Amino acid sequence: MSFDEEHLSGPDVIKVSAKSRSTAVAGAIAGVMREHHYAEVQAIGAGAVNQAVKALAIARGYLGRDEIDIVFTPYFTEVLIDGQERTAVRFSVEPRPAGWESRSPRQSTLSHRTED
């Protein structure tokens, strides 16, 4: 069973574009993580990947209020869009394993930029 097949029964992939509001995407990521404890975020193109990474950082702050820390792993995947194969960056988002300390400073959600 491939990685994608393994997670088909889980939540839908959160698709991000260059025009997506990072705070809105962060809210979606946080909601899916609270409900399913796993999320997939997909972006195609540099602008979309930028928005996705910002959204993941913001979502980490949102979830930190609930004492949920997340880690995400990027990988490439091929997707079919309008009959054409495109390369997308996907981020597998999971709760940080218990007892695994982060080396990065925990930032408050008030310190992040909210404009996109």
pLDDT digits (tens, 9 = 90+) for 5-49: 444 457 899 999 999 999 999 999 999 999 999 999 999 999 999
Domains of the chain by start residue, with CATH: 3-97 (3.30.110.20)
CB-CB contact of 27 with 55 (8 Å): no
Q: Residue 80: is its pLDDT beyond 80?
A: yes
Residue type, 47: G
Pairing mode, strands 39-43 and 70-81? unpaired
Q: Which residues contact 78 (CB under 8 A, 6 or more apart)?
A: 85, 86, 87, 88
**3-class DSSP assignment, residue 115:** coil
pTM: 0.79
Comparing 54 with 105, the larger pLDDT belongs to 54
Residue range 87-108, pLDDT digits in tens: 999 999 999 977 666 666 554 4
